[in-house]
Copies of this chain bind each other. A is one copy, B any other.
Amino acid sequence: VHKAPELLKESVYGLTELHRSEIKKARVVGNPGCFAMSCTVGLAPAVKNGLVELAGIVCDCKTGVSGAGKKPAAQFHYPERYDSANAYRLTGHQHVMEIERELSALAGKDVKVTFTPQVIPMTRGILSTLYGRLAAGATQAKVLDAYRITYDKEPFIVVKSFADAVQTGDVRGSNRVILTVACDERTGTFRVVSHLDNLVKGQAGSAVQNLNVMFGLDETLGLGWPGAHP
């Protein structure tokens, strides 16, 4: 049960890159889920610019184990978790509606996504591979351009083309998202790979970024060296 339902009305969705001006004026900000951050940042420019077909978007997400929180459980017990990967909650994950609400707002019409959460044997990091069909006329070059233009001035979003080698380790302990635009023109498929640290940009780092915006501070304040544990 929500503890303060009367505040929900004035609450703003804290995905800074999409809602910065509202966050500036907000008293209550709801921080995005880690998967939702990863997918929404990775899909927004394509959806907003009509570069991907709205039907058939797929979010294939792999998270490190810290995404499940600190509470011990059988499936996160070290001997059960090392050297093993699995999908879970293949329908009904709570982050789906965050992604769909944001993408629908950007598209101006209803967007549904297929969402596959998966746990892999690492501690920190989310690697989301985002798929769809390239819209008529859309190409790798046009998609890459749209992403570069959208995020050009963002301090925490980095756009790369498929030629670059990126891994989740590159954003470990950082508030950055690295997006690799890697459409497959041979099959007409839109594809973007989104990399973030679920404990920083996917969680506490994002909250700090929002606080900076709310209080009129430099948006990168306190985010140069996020915590190293675990």
Listed in ascending order, the chain A residues whose CB lies under 8 Å from chain B are 55-56, 58, 60, 62, 64-66, 70-74, 76-88, 90-91, 112-114, 116, 118, 120-125, 127, 129, 131, 133, 162, 165-170, 172-174, 180, 182, 184, 186-189, 191, 193, 224-225, 228-230
Contact = CB atoms under 8 A, between A and B. Distances in A.
A85 B129 CA distance: 12
Contacts of A131: 58, 60, 114, 131
Given A78-B121, A122-B85, A191 B129 contact: no
Nearest to A185: B91
Please give the count of copies of this chain that the complex contains: 4
Contacts of A167: 84-86
A60 B78 CA distance: 23
Contacts of A193: 87, 90, 116
A169 B83 contact: yes
Given A162-B90, A169-B229, A83 B184 contact: no
Most buried by B among A62, A113, A121: A121
Per CB-CB distance, the 8 closest pairs between chain A and chain B, nearest first, are A84-B169, A225-B225, A86-B167, A72-B72, A173-B228, A114-B189, A66-B79, A65-B78
Contacts of A90: 162, 182, 184, 191, 193
Nearest to A184: B114
Nearest to A123: B79
B112 A230 contact: no
B228 A228 contact: yes
A112 B174 CA distance: 38
A86 B189 contact: no
Given A72-B73, A84-B172, A91-B186, 8 more contacts: A64-B79, A66-B79, A76-B77, A77-B77, A83-B83, A83-B124, A90-B182, A91-B182
A114 B82 contact: no
Contacts of A70: 74, 77, 79-80
B129 A87 contact: yes
B168 A125 contact: no
Contacts of A188: 55-56
